[in-house]
Amino acid sequence: MRKLDPARHDQKRQEILSAARRCFERSGLKGASIAHICKEAGISPGHLYHYFKSKDAIVATLSEAWLDNISRRFEQLPIEEGGVVASLVEEISQLVPSGPNARSQLVFEMLAESTRNAGMAKLVQAHSRRLRSILANVLRQGQQRGAIDPALDPETTATIMIAMIDGLKALPLRDPEADRRAVADMLQQTLAAMLKRDRAEKTGEISGRRR
């Protein structure tokens, strides 16, 4: 009965979430147990349920925070004059994970979980919409500035960029020894080529255009 300080409550929540994240990264969404999380957080199992009503709630909260964080990074993309392509490309390139990145695997688990868990599906799809919207906006602004091929459909292009981002997360799992520098460089080129103004003139593409 010390303090009912709501700020304190929130801080504890964050601590638990942080412990949970470490556990999930270590053992997976199903592999990490409430007991593990409690030990990591230094609290008792009973106490944890004062902050979260179920394990699923923890997973959901954490997933939301995680996805939100990704979105925010793209939201803060500088869209300066002439640099739209460059900064976008740069941002994606930096995603080429370094090391047996424990964080990326969680996204794969979220994606898989979204197949069976309606709540997770909602979360994942909302995030995807938001992310696509952010990227599409950046693309649109680039098109207005003439830096990006105006024939591209921003939504479709954004969708493909997201696919690339996802796929790159598998890289360190598929090939821990990969030359990430080479991949990053080539990725930059590919993206640049894809977005490039004059690309349209060179290929007789049929679709992917603004509808």
Per CB under 8 A, 50 contacts a copy of itself = no
Residues 66 and 2: their CA atoms lie apart, in Å, by 32
Residues 13, 41: Cα–Cα separation, whole Å? 10
187 is in the binding site of which of DNA, a copy of itself, none (Cβ under 5 to 8 A by kind)?
Answer: a copy of itself
Contact residue for a copy of itself among 59, 84, 106, 147 (CB under 8 A): 106
Residue 108 interaction partner, one of a copy of itself, DNA, none, beta carbon < 5-8 Å per kind? a copy of itself
Q: What is the binding site for DNA (CB under 7 A)?
A: 1-4, 8-9, 12, 31-36, 43-47, 49-51, 53-56
Nearest-angstrom CA–CA distance, 188 and 175? 20
Angstrom distance (rounded) from CA 28 to CA 19? 13
Residues in region 122-181 near a copy of itself by CB under 8 A: 124-125, 127-129, 132, 152-153, 156-157, 159-160, 162-168, 170-171, 173-176, 178-179, 181
Distance between CA atoms of 106 and 136, rounded to whole angstroms?
25
122 interface partner picked from a copy of itself, DNA, none, CB below 5 to 8 A per type? none
Give CA–CA dist 56/122, Å, rounded.
14
